[in-house]
Amino acid sequence: MFSAMEKFYFVYILSNRWNTVLYTGITSDLVRRIYEHREKFVEGFTRKYKEIPRQSLGMTAK
């Protein structure tokens, strides 16, 4: 059984629109971290490579 004090982490992989670059990351709050990538809050991958396709986020386009 898991205790209330345990923290879970997620390893995730992102790509740019053209699938020419991969980025891997680890976080304890996947929804927040993906939002930060989408909104380009942090210097780095998404600011440099511009856009993350929805498919790489496990979402479907509407």
Q: Is residue 4 part of a domain?
A: no
Q: Is residue 17 part of a domain?
A: yes
**pLDDT of residue 60 exceeding 60:** no
Q: Determine the pLDDT at residue 61.
A: 43
Q: Is residue 20 part of a domain?
A: yes
Cα of 46 vs its chain's centroid, Å:
10
Higher pLDDT, residue 25 or 39: 25
Q: Is residue 3 part of a domain?
A: no
Residue-number span of the structural domain to which 37 is assigned: 10-57
Among candidate residues 23, 32, 28, 24, the one with its CA nearest the CA of residue 10: 28
Q: Is residue 53 part of a domain?
A: yes
Is residue 43 within 8 Å of 5, Cβ to Cβ? no
Structural domains counted in the chain = 1
